[in-house]
Amino acid sequence: MTGSDRTPVRPLPPGVVLRTERPTDVDGISAVVEAAFASAPHAALVAAIRASPAFEPELSVVAVDGAEVVGHVMISGVGLVGDDGVTRTVPSLSPLSVRPDHQAVGIGSALVREVLARAGAAGHALVVLEGDPGYYSRLGFEASGPHGIAIDLPSWAPPEAAQVAVLATPDPRLRGRIAYPPAFALVEE
């Protein structure tokens, strides 16, 4: 996936760099997630994912401005209950957070592009998410249904919010319904 057929890649603001999450970033990540979503449960979700076996440390990326965390994204494993009855683990992007005073300057897009590149380099063929199709479609995501992946969405979310980014030719067995791990129950609809 390249930026050539999507929204042009905007350079990061001066002083902002992307890197893998470090243990010293945990409090800063929590503050960013809570501010971005105006929700403590979303910050609790990040902590629960980090403490779970589904956590992939190299797929948890922060944007830092100087020494401050101003953005965060993570990819972790979720279940895909296949049409054949077998549950396979697939990567899910959730959540993406940028501190409100750093939004709309390209940090979120850069975080998504970075974590998708890392997921592809790690051998993942696709990444699923629930999110705003207007935002994520310009970053390579498309409706999951045509790819045979169903995601149960909250009643207020449009069907197009169930999305997938195809990074490589997926295994044809990767079809079915997403089953989120218990950590995701922390976020109320």
> Residue type at 176?
G
User: Mean pLDDT across the stretch 167-187?
Assistant: 92
Which pLDDT belongs to residue 10?
86
User: Mean pLDDT across the stretch 162-179?
Assistant: 96
Nearest C-alpha neighbor of 168 from the set 129, 133, 116, 130:
116
Which pLDDT belongs to residue 7?
61
Rounded CA-CA distance 100/50 in Å is 23
Confidence bin at 6 (pLDDT 50/70/90): low
pLDDT digits (tens, 9 = 90+) for 33-65: 999 999 899 999 999 999 999 999 999 999 999
Whether the pLDDT of residue 1 is over 60: the answer is: no
pLDDT digits (tens, 9 = 90+) for 29-40: 999 999 999 989
Which pLDDT belongs to residue 65?
97
Which pLDDT belongs to residue 126?
98
Whether the pLDDT of residue 79 is over 80: the answer is: yes
Residue with tokens 């974590």: 115
Whether the pLDDT of residue 167 is over 70: the answer is: yes
Whether the pLDDT of residue 4 is over 70: the answer is: no
* 3-state SS record for 33-71: HHHHHCCHHHHHHHHHHHCCCCEEEEEEEEEEECCEEEE
pLDDT digits (tens, 9 = 90+) for 88-146: 999 999 999 999 999 999 999 999 999 999 999 999 999 999 999 999 999 999 999 99
Rounded CA-CA distance 77/43 in Å is 18
Whether the pLDDT of residue 176 is over 90: the answer is: yes
Confidence bin at 2 (pLDDT 50/70/90): very low
The total of other beta-carbon atoms located within 10 Å of residue 159's CB is 11
Architecture of domain 14-184: 3-Layer(aba) Sandwich (3.40)
Which pLDDT belongs to residue 3?
39
Rounded CA-CA distance 143/74 in Å is 20
Plot region of 125 (φ>0 → left; ψ -120 to 50 → alpha; else → beta): alpha
Rounded CA-CA distance 55/43 in Å is 15
Structure pTM?
0.93
Which pLDDT belongs to residue 188?
60
